[in-house]
Amino acid sequence: MKALLLLAAGMLVAAPAWTQNRVIPQAGLKSGFEFLSPDLKKMQLDDFANPGTLWVDRGEKLWRAEAGAAKKSCADCHGDARASMKGVAARYPQVDRHSGDLMTLEARILQSRVERQKAVPFARESEDLLALSAYVAYQSRGMAMEADIEGAARKHFDAGEAMFFRRRGQLNLNCAHCHDANWGRTLYAERISQGQPNAYPAYRLEWQTLGSLERRLRACLSGVRAEILPFGSPEYADLALYLSWRAKGLPIETPGVRR
């Protein structure tokens, strides 16, 4: 018992990530789902009518399809995604052991495609990349987000956090202005969400198609009239890591439906 107490005290001194200040306490986390109209909620929950599931179907086919000079499919190495990919998306973004780079799920899929399959990488936001990432993330549906921000991930987390609180764009807003301080309030006809990442890739009515979290972040940059960083910029991965930590415990909803 004493040893346990000492251990607990030691953990407090080391100030692990979960003692980090949360603006929105974990008990108060709300998925973007909570901010949808009943019609859109119904659309997301109905696996037949949810258009995002079309990409999941396509991703399942791609998972088993041979590609590249290596003539290998994802399944040749990873087996049945329903087992091997279960819970994986919940732990992304993740640091690549060899390069030290922070990888989003999309970046990891592209890496495997080039390095393992020896194939031409998919374009960002292409149907195939969205399909595969949606299929992989779908295997974690219902599981709690639990990104690791310790060790090599720490500096990316810090950068993401700094980005979240940095004002930008002609409107001179940071992420927290809307999504920490004013969520639940209305901006004209729209209720501001907490900006949680747990439904992506998601089918957004605004886009009329499936899109990645990165695309959603670009939309926010565009919304505050800031410079839109190119797809694949490390800043997006850093911010995604901060968002994943911030959403810790929220269930993955991929493919979500959003406005």
Partner 1 sequence: MSARIQIPAEAKRGEIIEVRILIQHVMETGYRFDDRGTPIARNVITSILCNYNGREVMRADTSSGIAANPYLQFCMLAEASGELVLSWVDDEGVRGTERASLSVSG
Partner 2 sequence: MKRRNFVFAGLFSLSALARAQAPVADPGIFAVTKGARLARERVKLEMPVIAENGNAVPLKVSVSSPMTAADHVKAIHLVSDRNPVSKIASFYLGPYSGRAELSTRVRLAGSQNVTAIAEMSDGSFWMDRSHIQVTLSACVDDS
User: Which are the catalytic amino acids?
Assistant: 220
Name which of residues 27 to 56 contact partner 1 (CB under 8 A): 48-49, 51, 54
Residue 205 CB contacts under 8 Å (≥ 6 apart), including other chains:
40, 257, 258, 259
CA angle 122, 252, 249 (to 5 degrees): 130
- SS3 label, residue 20: coil
Give just the sign of the alpha carbon dihedral 173, 176, 180, 184: positive
Residues 18, 23, 57, 115: which binds partner 1 (CB under 8 A)?
A: 57
Check binding of 190 to partner 1 (CB under 8 A): no
- Report the C-alpha gap between 140 and 84 in whole angstroms: 10
* Contact range with partner 2 by CB under 8 A, out of 4-12, 59-67, 108-116, 187-195: 187-195
CA–CA distance, 36 with 18 (Å, rounded to integer) = 29
Please report how close the Cβ of residue 22 comes to partner 1 at its closest, in angstroms: 37
DSSP conformation class of 251: B
Provide, rounded to whole angstroms, the least separation between the CB of residue 230 and partner 2.
12
**Phi/psi class of residue 244: alpha, beta or left (left: φ > 0; alpha: ψ in -120 to 50)?**
alpha
Distance set, CA 240 to CA 26, 50, 66, 92 (Å) = 17, 24, 30, 9
Interface mask toward partner 2 for 17-36; x: CB under 8 A: -------------------x
Of these, 65, 187, 230, 232, which contacts partner 2 (CB under 8 A)? 187
Q: Is 179 in the site for partner 2 (CB under 8 A)?
A: no
- Residue 6 binding target from partner 1, partner 2, none, CB below 5 to 8 Å by type: none
Query: Looking at 150, 190, 232, 249, which residue binds partner 2 (CB under 8 A)?
Result: 190
The verdict on 52 binding partner 2 (CB under 8 A) reads no
Q: Nearest approach, Cβ of 233 to partner 1 (angstroms)?
A: 18
User: Residue 191 in 3-state DSSP?
Assistant: strand
Among 31, 33, 40, 58, binds partner 1 (CB under 8 A): 58
215, 240, 253, 255: residue in contact with partner 2 (rule CB under 8 A) = 215
Chain residues that interact with partner 1, rule: CB under 8 A:
48-49, 51, 54, 57-58, 208-209
